[in-house]
């Protein structure tokens, strides 16, 4: 995940003035961003010059907001998504190293169109506007935005200015991906136009002295041939942010945070055998060792070899204590005669809760007999879960977790969510760094109810054996063909309730 900076950093944290000759600021701390300490003196017009916070991606309703955040992470820079409705004072209280304004479906001149307080452009924080964000910046700073009578969608050829910081190291003519009907017709005073297309004379601009940049096209999509390079130029060169968001740094900082949070208490984790819970448990185990106990419920609906992978490759190989509970008979009995898929899902969820609760009680009793106390539950929450459940609202209680893992209210465990700032690809990278077996790190997504919802019809032992064997054959053939990294998911379904004839 780590990248090497092209431009050296001088002593004292300043970049040399050669090259872009850009806006200068002290480099942010390379540490993993923990809890943000709000500066009570920060205002909308004066950001903290010692910015150590994230790159903020301001979401104007774009379908690509998460993709922008991921591309920033791929440049080894930490990013967070915030809604455009967040007051600028709150954004600046996060001490952002830079701000990126996303695209969006609105027209900047339409009634009720989302906007942003122009004070953000005078806060001393580098800003990049993309598509709608580009137009919003132009309008807020005195430029002109309007309908051109033509629309640009899809592949477009752009001509760029070689002297522009964003386009350093890229060809003068390049393929970009457009998706807009409005366009910037005149750049704000003090801005240099740095790119154009046949239909859009003002396709990019910049004001280096103020650290403000904009692109009409979408650099975050792969269709923009040099889009990632433009983002990296903004982050590393224009904003002076070092490439320090690496798997190793994340692990070190999380281990430190977990140890501080847990102390000498005990922790449990519901292990599914999937990527998220396996990596979360491995990270917590790296921090506190045998203070962690994992519970793995075998509901009889697993893929071939899945239990063995958890018990042998994962638990034994990594030295993690895993208590396996075999509840296959319980689940098969509860599912007998049931064919409706939603009913099956509810039954599986209910029985899993009961099985997990029973196992929890046994672990709690065992730890209690040893004089310990379980205070924490590990959960493999990822960043998309946080964003999609309202994490962009800026509220402290982002998501209700009272029913996670079927926990009754009176257990009152505190949560440990070491992956909640990460995307899936980052979780896999962390897993590999921790030594989680590749079979687990690279495995395809698998539904919580397991093979139970991949049997169309009644879930019987015979049907499960047929489906399990077919699923194994399909996965082995994908591996043999070298397609594991190309095909994201290949679910095998048994049509047990479908009758047909053929020749």
Q: Which residues are annotated as a binding site for ATP?
A: 272-278
Is 402 annotated in the active site? Answer: no
Is 7 annotated in the active site? Answer: no
Report helix, strand or coil for 159.
strand
Q: Which of 20, 80, 206, 218 is catalytic?
A: 218
Q: Which of 20, 74, 95, 131 is catalytic?
A: 131
Tokens 């043999």 correspond to 480
| Dist CA 419 CA 31 (whole Å) | 16
Is 220 annotated in the active site? Answer: yes
Q: Which of 80, 152, 220, 306 is catalytic?
A: 220
CA dihedral 353, 354, 358, 364 (to 10 degrees): 30
Annotated binding site: 272-278
Are 356 and 331 spatial neighbours (Cβ–Cβ below 8 Å)? Answer: no
Which runs of consecutive H residues, i.e. helices, occur in 11-143? 65-74, 88-93, 132-140
Task: Name which of 500, 69, 442 is nearest 274 in CA terms.
Answer: 442
CA dihedral 340, 343, 349, 350 (to 10 degrees): -140
Other CB atoms within 10 Å distance of the CB of residue 402: 9
Q: What is the DSSP string of 222-256?
A: TTSTTHHHHHHIIIIIIS-------HHHHHHHHHH
| Dist CA 281 CA 489 (whole Å) | 24
Could you give the C-alpha distances from 362 to 190, 278, 293, 323, 366, in angstroms and in order? 69, 21, 11, 10, 6
| Residues carrying an active site annotation | 131, 218, 220
């Amino acid at each position: 995940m780590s990248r090497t900076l092209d431009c050296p950093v001088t002593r004292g944290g300043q970049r040399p003035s050669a090259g872009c000759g850009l806006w200068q600021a002290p480099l942010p701390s390379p540490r993993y961003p923990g809890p943000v300490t709000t500066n009570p003196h920060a205002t909308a017009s004066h950001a903290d010059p010692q910015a150590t916070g994230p790159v903020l991606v301001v979401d104007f309703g774009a379908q690509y907001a998460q993709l922008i955040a991921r591309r920033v992470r791929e440049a080894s820079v930490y990013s967070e998504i915030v809604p455009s409705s967040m007051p600028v004072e709150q954004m600046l209280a996060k001490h952002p190293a830079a701000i990126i304004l996303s695209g969006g479906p609105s027209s900047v001149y339409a009634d009720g169109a989302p906007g942003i307080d122009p004070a953000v452009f005078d806060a001393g924080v580098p800003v990049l506007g993309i598509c709608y964000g580009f137009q919003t910046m132009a309008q807020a700073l005195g430029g002109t935005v309007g309908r051109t009578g033509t629309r640009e969608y899809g592949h477009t050829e752009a001509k760029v200015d070689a002297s522009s910081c964003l386009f350093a190291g890229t060809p003068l003519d390049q393929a970009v991906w457009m998706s807009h009907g409005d366009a910037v017709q005149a750049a704000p005073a003090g801005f240099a136009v740095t790119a154009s297309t046949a239909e859009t004379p003002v396709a990019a601009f910049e004001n280096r002295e103020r650290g403000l940049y904009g692109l009409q096209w979408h650099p975050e999509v792969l269709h923009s041939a040099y889009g990632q390079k433009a983002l990296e130029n903004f982050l590393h060169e224009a904003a002076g942010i070092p490439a320090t968001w690496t798997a190793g740094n994340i692990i070190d900082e999380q281990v430190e945070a977990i140890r501080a949070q847990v102390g000498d208490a005990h922790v449990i984790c519901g292990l599914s055998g999937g990527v998220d819970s396996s990596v979360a448990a491995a990270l917590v185990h790296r921090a506190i060792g045998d203070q962690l106990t994992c519970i793995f419920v075998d509901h009889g609906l697993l893929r071939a070899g899945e239990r063995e992978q958890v018990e042998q490759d994962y638990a034994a190989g990594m030295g993690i204590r895993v208590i396996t509970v075999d509840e296959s008979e319980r689940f098969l009995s509860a599912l007998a005669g049931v064919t409706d898929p939603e009913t099956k899902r509810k039954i599986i969820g209910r029985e899993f809760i009961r099985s997990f609760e029973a196992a929890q009680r046994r672990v709690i009793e065992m730890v209690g007999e040893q004089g310990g106390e379980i205070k924490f539950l590990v959960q493999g929450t990822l960043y998309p879960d946080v964003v999609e459940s309202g994490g962009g609202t800026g509220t402290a209680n982002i998501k209700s977790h009272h029913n996670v893992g079927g926990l009754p209210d009176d257990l009152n465990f505190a949560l440990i969510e070491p992956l909640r700032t990460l995307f899936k690809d980052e979780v896999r990278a962390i897993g590999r760094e921790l030594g989680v077996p590749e079979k687990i790190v690279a495995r395809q997504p698998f539904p919580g109810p397991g093979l139970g919802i991949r049997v169309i019809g009644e879930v019987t032992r015979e049907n499960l054996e047929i489906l399990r064997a077919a699923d194994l054959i399909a996965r082995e053939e994908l591996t043999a063909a070298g397609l594991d990294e190309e095909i994201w998911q290949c679910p095998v379904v048994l049509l047990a309730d479908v009758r047909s004839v053929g020749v």
